[in-house]
């Protein structure tokens, strides 16, 4: 009887978990289904769950050369912004975690506060400054905007990972002749590698999916994928739901590949420091 009760509880728990997973994955499942529907199946009311799949939407996306240009622009901006953000944010997070200096808490709070501001608050000075510097509609302008937005995330995540690394390990390395910089490079960075991977992925996701800065800081020379999809497939009179869904599915693929490749390090990074 007790064994049967445990089995029922286990089934109940799994049912709840599967239900939650389906609810969370429903938008993704819906987009994938939409991408394989014909025009009339997409706009059918009530929505069709049983239909004849077609590849017309994907063919329409692949026929548009601008889609691949926008894909390239998004990849360049995301990768460069992630690299630059990590280059600046990782040493800053290390300094906040390991050093004691005057104004440390104030500096940390100021960096964190930049993440609290809505983008609409800072976009006007961004536009004015970038216009004066000739960086409107350029890769460097959009990359710098993404860096300024994501820097707080990187600094505070890496600070948390570095805090969890025992100081005794660094002190032992310094006794053997390591300098502070060398200890950071050969001790702290390798030990915090899973956290670094998780931070890089989150920064990449924010940059890859960012729309507002791309809308206001670029025109024609640089057009990221979210901006291209919003302007190409969404018209004044109609929305090409099937083609838009197909483009959305293709836009997700790089992120999925990235997650699959670094999955092992990502799980360690997201749980780094959770248990003592």
- Domain-embedded: residue 58: no
Q: Summarize pLDDT for 19-31 with one digit per residue, the tens.
A: 898 888 888 888 8
Rg (CA), the chain: 23
Helix (H/G/I), strand (E/B), else coil: 60: helix
- Domain-embedded: residue 22: no
- Domain-embedded: residue 2: no
- Domain-embedded: residue 38: no
What pLDDT score does 81 carry?
Answer: 94
Token output for 86: 């990590």
What pLDDT score does 276 carry?
Answer: 44
Buried b (16+ CB within 10 A) or exposed e, 224-263: bbbbbbeebbeeeeeebbbbbbbbbbbbeebeeebeeebe
Number of structural domains the chain divides into: 1
Q: Summarize pLDDT for 174-218 with one digit per residue, the tens.
A: 777 777 777 788 888 888 888 888 888 888 988 998 999 998 998
- Domain-embedded: residue 204: yes
Nearest to residue 157, comparing CAs of 194, 117, 103, 128? 194
Half-sphere exposure of 147 (CA within 13 A, CB side): 18
What pLDDT score does 7 carry?
Answer: 75
Q: Summarize pLDDT for 116-130 with one digit per residue, the tens.
A: 878 888 888 888 888
pLDDT band for position 76 (50/70/90)? very high
- Domain-embedded: residue 127: yes
* CA-to-CA dists, residue 108 to 99, 112, 113, angstroms: 12, 6, 9
CATH of the domain at 238: 1.10.3720.10
- What domain range is 249 assigned to? 64-270
- Domain-embedded: residue 12: no
261, pLDDT greater than 80 = no
Residue 209, classified by CB atoms within 10 Å of its CB into exposed (0-12), middle (13-18) or buried (19+), is middle
- Domain-embedded: residue 188: yes
pLDDT band for position 82 (50/70/90)? very high
């Amino acid at each position: 009887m007790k064994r049967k009760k445990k089995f029922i509880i286990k089934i109940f728990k799994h049912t709840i978990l599967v239900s939650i997973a389906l609810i969370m994955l429903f938008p993704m499942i819906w987009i994938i289904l939409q991408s394989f529907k014909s025009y009339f199946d997409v706009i059918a009311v009530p929505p069709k769950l049983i239909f004849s799949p077609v590849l017309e939407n994907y063919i329409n996306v692949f026929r548009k050369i601008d889609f691949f240009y926008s894909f390239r622009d998004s990849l360049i901006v995301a990768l460069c912004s992630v690299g630059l953000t990590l280059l600046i944010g990782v040493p800053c997070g290390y300094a906040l975690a390991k050093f004691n200096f005057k104004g440390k808490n104030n500096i940390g709070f100021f960096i964190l506060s930049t993440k609290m501001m809505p983008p609409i608050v800072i976009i006007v000075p961004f536009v004015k400054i970038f216009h004066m510097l000739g960086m409107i509609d350029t890769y460097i302008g959009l990359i710098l905007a993404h860096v300024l937005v994501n820097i707080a995330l990187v600094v505070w995540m890496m600070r948390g990972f570095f805090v969890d690394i025992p100081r005794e390990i660094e002190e032992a390395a310094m006794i053997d002749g390591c300098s502070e910089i060398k200890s950071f490079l050969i001790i702290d960075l390798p030990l915090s590698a899973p956290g670094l991977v998780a931070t890089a992925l989150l920064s990449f996701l924010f940059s890859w999916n960012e729309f507002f800065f791309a809308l206001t800081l670029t025109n024609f020379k640089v057009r990221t994928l979210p901006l291209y999809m919003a302007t190409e497939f969404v018209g004044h009179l109609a929305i090409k739901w099937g083609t838009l869904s197909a483009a959305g599915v293709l836009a997700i693929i790089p992120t999925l590949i990235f997650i699959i490749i670094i999955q092992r390090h990502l799980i360690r990074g997201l749980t780094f420091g959770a248990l003592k």
